[in-house]
Amino acid sequence: MTTQAAFDPGAAAARATDAILADTLHGAHRGVVVDSPPGAGKSTLVVRAALELADAGRPLMVVAQTNAQVDDLVLRLAEKKPGLPVGRLHSSDTDPYDKALDDLPQVRKSAKAADLTGLPVVISTAAKWAHVKVDEPWRHAIVDEAYQMRSDALLAVAGLFERALFVGDPGQLDPFAIVGSEQWAGLTYDPSGSAVTTLLAHNPELPQHRLPVSWRLPASAAPLVSDAFYPYTPFRSGTGHGDRRLAFAVPSDGSGPDRVIDEAAESGWGLLELPARRTPRTDPEAVRAVATVVRRLLDRGGAATSERSDAPAPLTADRIAVGTAHRDQAAAVRAALVDLGVPEVTVDTANRLQGREYDVTVVLHPLSGRPDATAFHLETGRLCVLTSRHRHACVVVCRAGVSNLLDDYPSTEPVQLGTVVKFPDGWEANHAVLAHLAERRVVWRP
Amino acid sequence: MSLISTLARLEAVATGHAQPAATVRHRHLSDRPLVFVPLTTAGEAGAPLGALLGTDRDAPRLLVVPQPRDRDLRFAFLAELADVVLPYVDGYAEAVEAAERTETDPETGKRVKVEAELCADAPQLIVPSRAGIDFVRLLGRSMRFRRTAEQDPETPYPAPPRVPLLGRWLTHVGERARVPGSALLLAMTDVLARHWATGQSSLEDQHLGALLAWIAPPDDEPGTEAALRAELARDAQGQLLCPPAGPATDPAFDNRLLAPAIERYDRARTAFAAAEDGLEADDRLGALTAAEREIRDLVLSRTLPTWQKVWQGLDLLRALPAGAHIEERWTRDRWSFTGHRDRITAGEPPQPRRDDAVTAAGKLAAREREQARLEAQEALDDPLVMAGRRLSGEAFAGEVTDVVMAYSESRRPSPRPLITVRTGDRPHLAERVRVYRSLSGKPQAAEFVERAGDDLIVLRIVDKMGRGKTPEEGSVPDKGDPVCFTLFEHEQRGGAKLPDPEQTPWTHGGPPGEAVLPEADPMTAEDLL
C-alpha cells in the first residue's frame, strides 16, 4: 500500500494517460470520456492522443470550441512532431486563423474540408465542422473542451466520426443559451446542456477516466480547489509545498494591498476585504483596489521560483491576470489599470480566462457588493475558473458580508424533474472558498 | 437589467409616471386581434372556470363552466371555445399570396427556391399576462391528443369534434410565443413592459392593473398610489376592486363568492335530477338556470375589468408608430401560421409530447438567432433602444471629422477608407474589432483602427463600396456626417444544418424510431374528475 508521502504525481499521471490511450486506441467502446481538473495536462493529452492515432494510421478530426484553442493545438502538434501534415479548417471571415500558422509548411489551411482530405489530422472549431458534409465519416475524433460544448453542437458534428475521445473539465463554466430552454430540461438530449451529459446519458457504458494531478495549481491551491469544486473526484498538485516560491525585492509599505500580497506570497491565497457595502457592478473602490494590487505586484519586483527553472523568473505583466464576472467590470478594471500606467496586464471575464494560466491572479469576487445572489453569480464554474488560473498565488478582492448574503438568499431556481443535479452547488462551493479565504484575510479601508 | 432601464425606472419613481422605454412599437398588432381572458379553477390545473373572448371590444363572448370539475361541462366549454377560436383562425387560412421559400432539394441536397403559398395575414391572440400564455399551452396540451367519437368509437370520453384541432392550434401559437419577437400570441403585460418602464419591479409589472396604473393613471394620480390601489384595494365585501388578470383568481373571491355559488349550483342540479314529475322538474330547472346565471355573472365581473384593460393597452400601443422591422418579423409569423395550416391540411398527427433531439436543437438554434436579430432590429428601429446599447458600450454615435482614402494591399487594390468619428460614447473597442452601420438598410462593416484621442475613433471601412477603385456614391460618409456604429451584427447567419431525425447520431441515442400517434393520457385511479 502506498502512503500519501510516497505519492508520485508523475507516475500517477502517466498511469492515467496510459489507460486513456489504451482505451482510445484499442478499446471496444465508441467513446472515451476524460475528466481533467484545471491544469492537469489536458492539452498535452490531446496532442499525445492525436499523434498516436496519426501514427496508427487512423484519419483523425479534432473538434475544439474556439479558434484560439484550434490554433493553439495546431502549434502544439507542430512543436511535438514538425513532420506531421496537419489540416487547419477555418472560416471564410477575414483573419480566420493565427498568422503564426503561416510559418509552418506542414500545416495546410483551407475553408473547404475537401481541400484537406487525406491529411492525417484535420482540426477546426465545432461551429465550422457543423457545416462540413462527408460521404465517409472519419475513423476517429477528439473533442476538446467537451464540457463547454453544447449538446446541440455535438448533434451537428457527431455524424462526422465513428469513434471519439471526449476531453474536458467538468468544473468549469457550463455552456449556456441566450433564450429560455426550460421546456427541454430533463430530456437526455436537452440541447442547452453539455455534450458530455447527453453523451453519457445515452451511452452510460462508456469508459470514463480522470487525470489525477494538476501541474498548474500549487500545493497551496490544489486541496482547496479540489475540495470545493471536485469533492467526489479529488486531485492533487504535481508539486510540493516547497517547490514554488514567490518573493518580492521591495518590502511591504504596510498598506492593505501590500499586506495582502505578502499574505498571498506566503500562503498562496489572499483576501483583501473592503468594508461591507452595496455597490453597482463596477464598484469604483473595489475596481481601484484590484488595480492597486496589480500595480504593487509589479512595483515590488516579484520573483517566482518554480520547478520549471533553477533561477527565479521575474514576475512581469504578462504573468499576471485579473478575473471578473462581468465584461463591464473587466472594462472598468482595464481603465483603472491604464490610469495607474499598467495597460499590459490581461483583464478578462471567467468565460474568456478558461484554459489560461498565469503566475498570479487577482480576482474581483463575483458576489462582492451585490444585494442578491443570482444563479449566474453563484455558478460553481465561474468561481472555479477564477480561482484556478494561477501557478503561485491568487488574491481575491471582495466586500465584507458575502457569507451573510449567501445565507440570506437561498437558491430559488425552480427544480426541474429528470435533470442531473450538479454537486457541489454554487452555494456550497462559495462557502467552502470563503471559509478558506477567511484565514488569509486582510481588512482594508481604502 | 441594463443601465438605461434602471435609470428609466428611477425616473419613473421620481416622477410618479412610467417612462417610455421605446419610441416606436416593437411588436406587430393585428387590426383584428382575438382577445382571450381565461380564468382557471384554483387547485385544479387545466380546469377552466370560464373565459371572456372575442374580436369586438364592445361584444365579448362569455364562456363559463358552472361546475369546473364536471368533465361534460368542461368539454362543452372547450367545444364553445373552438366555435369562437377556430372560425377566427380559419378566417386567415384562405387569403394567400405567392411567395418563395428556400428548400433543400432531396436529390441534389442543394438549397433551391421553390414557389409557395403564404397566408396574406395571420391570426393574433392576445392574453392579459404571461400566465395566460402558459394557460393557452396547457389547454393545447390537454386537448390535442383527445379523440373524437368519429376518430375512435371506443374512446371512453369522446371529445366534441374540433376540440383536438383547437388543441393543435393553441399548442402551435403557444410554442410560437417562445420565439423572441413573434406575435401570434402576445401577453399584454409583456408588450406594455417592453414599451414603458415603471417605478416597480418587473415581477410587479406582470400585474396588468398595476402596470396600467403607472402608464396611464386615472386623473393623473401618481403611479405609485394608483398601482398600490390596483393591487390591494378591496370593497366593503373584501373583494379586490381590480381583479387579477388571471387565469388564477383571488382567493377571497374563490372562498366567499365562487365556492358558495358553485355549491348552490350543485344543489340545484341534484334537485333537478331528482325531480319526480314534469312540474317539479320545470320548477327546479328554473332554480338551476338561476344558479348558473349567478356563476356567469360572477365570472363576467372578474373578467370584464381585465378585458377592458387589455383593450386600453392596445389603444396605448397603437398610438405608437410601428417600428421599421416589425413587418419583416410578422412575415415570419405568417410563414409559421401557413406552415401549420399546411400540416393540418396534410393530415399530419398532432405535435408530439416531447421534441426529439433534432427538433429541440433546431428550435433552440432558431430562437437564439431570433433573439439576436430582435435585439439588433429594435436598436436599429428605435433611437432610444440604441441609446441603451450606446450607454452599455455596444454602440457609438457621432460625427465624422475626417475621411482619408486608403487602399487594401492586394493585387487589385480596393478602397479601404479611414474615417475618424468624434463621439462622446465609450464603446468597448479592442484591436481590429468589427463595427457595423446601417447603409440604406444593409449593414456596412468597418474595423476599429485606433483611438486618435479621448473622443476620436478611427475606423477602416471594409465593404459595401462597390467593385470599382473608387467607392460608390454615398457608400462612404463625408466629413460632418452623423454616423452610428454598432459592435453587434445586424443580420444573423443561418445555423448549421442538423441531421435528419432518422440520422440522429449514437451520441444522442440514435434515431427516435417510428413515430407513433400519441395516445391521450390514460385514466388513473387519481383521475377523479
Whether residue A156 and residue B498 make contact (CB cut-off 8 A), yes or no, is yes
Q: Which residue, among A29, A151, A155, would best test binding to B if mutated, counting the most B CBs under 10 Å from its CB?
A: A155
Q: Residue A200's closest chain B neighbor by CA? A: B507
Whether residue B428 and residue A331 make contact (CB cut-off 8 A), yes or no, is yes
- CATH for B383-486 is 2.40.30
CA distance A153 to chain B (A): 8
pLDDT over threshold 70, residue A4: no
Please tell me whether residue B25 adopts helix, strand or coil conformation. strand
User: In chain B, what is the straight-line distance between the N-terminal and C-terminal CA atoms, in Å?
Assistant: 44
Whether residue A155 and residue B180 make contact (CB cut-off 8 A), yes or no, is no
Whether residue A191 and residue B361 make contact (CB cut-off 8 A), yes or no, is yes
CA distance B493 to chain A (A): 12
The predicted-structure confidence for A222-258, as pLDDT tens digits, reads as follows: 999 999 999 888 999 999 988 899 999 999 999 999 9
Residues of A in contact with B364 (CB under 8 A): 152, 177, 179, 181, 184, 191-192
Whether residue B364 and residue A179 make contact (CB cut-off 8 A), yes or no, is yes
E runs forming strands in A2-149: 31-35, 60-64, 86-89, 107-110, 121-125, 138-143
Place of cell 443535479: A421
Q: Residue A377: which residues within 8 A CB-CB, separation 6 or more?
A: A325, A366, A367, A370, A426
Which of A94, A130, A177 is nearest residue B364 as measured by Cβ atoms?
A: A177
Lowest mean pLDDT among A313-322, B199-208, B496-505, B512-521: B512-521
Q: What are phi and psi of B53, to 5 degrees?
A: -150, 165
Q: Residue A331's closest chain B neighbor by CA? A: B428
Whether residue B364 and residue A192 make contact (CB cut-off 8 A), yes or no, is yes
The predicted-structure confidence for A156-186, as pLDDT tens digits, reads as follows: 999 999 999 999 999 888 888 899 899 999 8
The three cell numbers of residue B461 are 471601412
Domain ranges of chain B: 3-247+305-353, 383-486
Q: Number of C-alpha atoms within 13 angstroms, CB side, residue B255?
A: 6
Whether residue A203 and residue B497 make contact (CB cut-off 8 A), yes or no, is no
* pLDDT (0 to 100) of residue A310: 82
Dihedral angle over CA of A250, A253, A256, A262, nearest 10 = 30
Of A270, A391, A397, give the one whose Cα is nearest residue A325: A397
**Measured on CA atoms in the order B316, B318, B319, B325, is the torsion positive or negative?**
positive
Q: Which chain A residues in 28-87 lie under 8 Å from chain B, judged by CB atoms?
A: 30-31
CA distance A160 to A137: 5
pLDDT over threshold 80, residue B525: no
Please name every residue paired with B422 in a beta bridge, in sequence order, or none if there are none.
B399, B456
Over residues A378-394, the mean pLDDT reads 93
* pLDDT (0 to 100) of residue B485: 96
- pLDDT category at A77 given cuts 50, 70, 90 is very high
Residues of A in contact with B508 (CB under 8 A): 151, 154-155, 158, 189, 198, 202
Whether residue B508 and residue A151 make contact (CB cut-off 8 A), yes or no, is yes
Of B37, B35, B529, give the one whose Cα is nearest residue B249: B37
Over residues A119-130, the mean pLDDT reads 94
CA distance A395 to B97: 65
> In this predicted model, which residue has the larger pLDDT, B280 or B61?
B61
CA distance B187 to B170: 14
Helices B278-318 & B188-195 angle (0-180, nearest 10): 20
A287, A332 Cβ separation under 8 angstroms: yes
Q: What are phi and psi of A63, to 5 degrees?
A: -110, 115
pLDDT over threshold 70, residue A60: yes
Residues of A in contact with B111 (CB under 8 A): none
Whether residue B360 and residue A189 make contact (CB cut-off 8 A), yes or no, is yes
Lowest mean pLDDT among A93-97, A278-282, B27-31, B299-303: A93-97
CA distance A423 to chain B (A): 24
Over residues A118-123, the mean pLDDT reads 93
Over residues A207-221, the mean pLDDT reads 94
The predicted-structure confidence for B102-151, as pLDDT tens digits, reads as follows: 777 777 767 788 888 999 999 999 999 999 999 999 999 999 998 888 88
pLDDT over threshold 80, residue B455: yes
pLDDT over threshold 90, residue A277: yes
Q: Residue A182: which residues within 8 A CB-CB, separation 6 or more?
A: A414, A416
* pLDDT (0 to 100) of residue A192: 92
A361, A394 Cβ separation under 8 angstroms: yes
* pLDDT (0 to 100) of residue A379: 87
Whether residue B354 and residue A187 make contact (CB cut-off 8 A), yes or no, is yes
CA distance B335 to chain A (A): 21
Lowest mean pLDDT among A378-387, B334-343, B381-390: A378-387
Q: Residue B201: which residues within 8 A CB-CB, separation 6 or more?
A: none
Of A295, A390, A389, give the one whose Cα is nearest residue A343: A295
- pLDDT category at A421 given cuts 50, 70, 90 is confident
Residues of B in contact with A30 (CB under 8 A): 506
Report percent pLDDT > 70 for chain A: 98
Q: What is the ipTM of this complex?
A: 0.88
CA distance A295 to chain B (A): 22
Whether residue B358 and residue A181 make contact (CB cut-off 8 A), yes or no, is no
Burial of A62 (0-12, 13-18, 19+ CB in 10 A): buried
* pLDDT (0 to 100) of residue A307: 86
pLDDT over threshold 90, residue A64: yes
Q: pTM to 2 decimals?
A: 0.90
Q: What is the mean pLDDT of chain A?
A: 91
Name every residue in B having a CB less than 8 A away from some CB of A.
Answer: 109, 178, 180, 354-355, 357-358, 360-361, 363-365, 367-368, 370-372, 392-393, 428, 432, 462, 495-499, 503-510
CA distance A266 to A258: 12
- pLDDT category at A2 given cuts 50, 70, 90 is very low
- pLDDT category at A5 given cuts 50, 70, 90 is low
Which of B355, B498, B509 is nearest residue A188 as measured by Cβ atoms?
A: B509
The predicted-structure confidence for B66-100, as pLDDT tens digits, reads as follows: 999 988 899 999 999 999 999 999 999 999 998 88
